[in-house]
Amino acid sequence: MDATIVPKIQKHYPVLLKEIISVISPRHGGTFIDCTFGQGGYSKKILDFENTKVIALDRDKESEKIANQLKQNFEDRFIFKNIKFSQLNNLKLKNENIKGVIFDLGYSYTQIKDPQKGLSFDSDGNLNMQLGLNSYSAQDAINKLEEKELEKIFKFFGDENEAKYIARNIIKERSKNIIDTKVLVEIIDKSKKRKNFKVHNATKVFQALRIFVNKEISELIFGLINAAKVLKKGGVLGVVTFHSLEDKIVKYFFKSLSENKSISRYSPVAKQAETLFNLIQKKPITPSDEEVSENPPSRSAKFRYVIKKSDFYNFDTDIEEQFRNYMEIENYGDKL
């Protein structure tokens, strides 16, 4: 979901469900990994097809309650693990015929509605933002990080033009008071010279803090690498993203592993490296007008996928180098 405001919709919608099912084809059976189980929208649909098995992951312990209900109906075909998807290579998957690994990034309607999670700037919740299995909260970050570090978080993860003033005013305010959600929104409002009447002033800073607290960039990068490893030949690796930085990472990873690159530009005959994936569609799949009108937060969803060409496990990728500066910003959290 894109907005950090509690949406007006009243229930959870699995985004792009029809399109994803058509791409991963569970009607032929096989094992699927649902890396972001949430309310189980994708897992339930896959289990409707006979001869399928679902291994579902979610970092939020709350998801386990829904998973336990599903387990009652599909005892032999459904497994849930409360782990982060960056750890998916630690699951014992050698004998599994993994036909699809699917990610639906971000948070669900239920999570943004939960004041304990503190994801929303228009709730009275505390400044938390932990989705689960975290080491620190947004409260820790806002009250303990240095001014320059906060500025970089807002700028790189939120694309916030006034990151510098917001960071400066946070440092001033925190010497007098503990900063909670309400105070943070007031600081952002006060700091922003250019008002945007379409989007709430606090949207970008809240998105940036959520990415930082949950290490979403490192999670995505290691999630993609490990998903590529465990998938079997012919299997689909698919990701639904909700903001441009996530989409940039997924697009780069898929493109770099599915394009023939010349090994050396100085060699007389350009040698071609073997590609590992097939990229069938360069453009992402986006929700229909009908889906957007039923579920407005789906408007920023983009689904990209690739198909694995052979049964490899280890492979070379420069994705970590490409996005190292973002991961280094996330590592500011190590000292919290």
Ligand X SMILES: C[S@@+](CC[C@H](N)C(=O)[O-])C[C@H]1O[C@@H](n2cnc3c(N)ncnc32)[C@H](O)[C@@H]1O
Q: Of 306-325, which residues contact ligand X (CB under 6 A)? A: none
Applying CB under 6 A, which of residues 63, 123, 169, 300 lies at the interface with ligand X? Answer: 63
- Tokens at 331, concatenated: 């590592």
Given candidates 53, 81, 84, 99, which one binds ligand X under the rule CB under 6 A? Answer: 84
Q: Would you call 18 helix, strand, or coil by DSSP?
A: helix
Asked if 2 is part of the footprint of ligand X (rule: CB under 6 A), the reply reads no
Site stretch for ligand X (CB under 6 A), options 92-100, 103-111, 201-209, 253-261: 103-111
- The site map against ligand X for 182-221 (x = CB under 6 A) is -------------------------------------x--
Instruction: Name the residue nearer to ligand X (CB basis): 14 or 118.
Output: 14
Scanning residues 22 to 51, which ones bind ligand X (CB under 6 A)?
Answer: 36, 38-42
Nearer to ligand X, 90 or 262 (CB): 90
Q: Which of 84, 110, 129 is nearest to 227 (CA)?
A: 84
Residue 332 touching ligand X (CB under 6 A)? no
| H-helix or E-strand spanning residue 239 | strand 236-241
CA of residue 286 relative to chain centroid, distance: 16
Q: Binding to ligand X by residue 305, rule CB under 6 A?
A: no
Q: Between residues 26 and 38, which has the closer beta carbon with respect to ligand X?
A: 38
Task: Tell which positions 125-154 bind ligand X, by CB under 6 A.
Answer: 131-132
Q: Which range of residues in 52-60, 247-255, 299-307, 315-323 is near ligand X by CB under 6 A?
A: 52-60
What is the DSSP code string of 61-129?
Answer: TTHHHHHHHHHHH-TTTEEEE-S-GGGGGGS--TT--EEEEEEE-S--HHHHH-TTT---TTSS--S--
Using CB under 6 A as the binding rule, whether residue 243 contacts ligand X is answered as no
* Closest CB to ligand X among residues 35, 179: 35
Q: What is the separation, in whole angstroms, between the first and last Cα of the chain?
A: 27
> Which C-beta is closer to ligand X: that of 39 or that of 201?
39
Per-residue H/E/C for 151-198: HHHHHHHHCCCCHHHHHHHHHHHHCCCCCCHHHHHHHHHHHCCCCCCC
Measured CA distances, 201 to 23, 173, 259 (Å): 38, 18, 40
Is 59 an interacting residue with respect to ligand X (CB under 6 A)?
A: yes
* Orientation angle between helical segments 216-230 and 203-213, nearest 10 degrees: 50
Q: How far is the CB of 34 from ligand X (least distance, A)?
A: 7
- Applying CB under 6 A, the site for ligand X has a residue count of 22
- Which residue number has the CB closest to ligand X? 41
- Name which of 283, 232, 230 is nearest 93 in CA terms: 230
CA separation for the pair 79, 49 (Å, rounded): 16
Please say whether the beta carbons of 35 and 238 come within 8 A: no
- Residue 145 or 227: the one with the smaller Cβ distance to ligand X is 227
Q: Which is nearer to ligand X, 30 or 297 (CB)?
A: 297
Query: Shortest gap between Cβ of 101 and ligand X (angstroms)?
Result: 12
Do strands 98-104 and 236-241 pair parallel, antiparallel, or not at all (unpaired)? parallel
Among 24, 57, 208, 211, binds ligand X (CB under 6 A): 57
User: Per CB under 6 A, which region of 22-30, 58-66, 274-282, 325-333 contacts ligand X?
Assistant: 58-66
How far is 183 from 142, CA to CA, in rounded Å? Answer: 11
Chain residues binding ligand X by CB under 6 A are 12, 14, 36, 38-42, 57-60, 63, 84-85, 104, 106-108, 131-132, 219
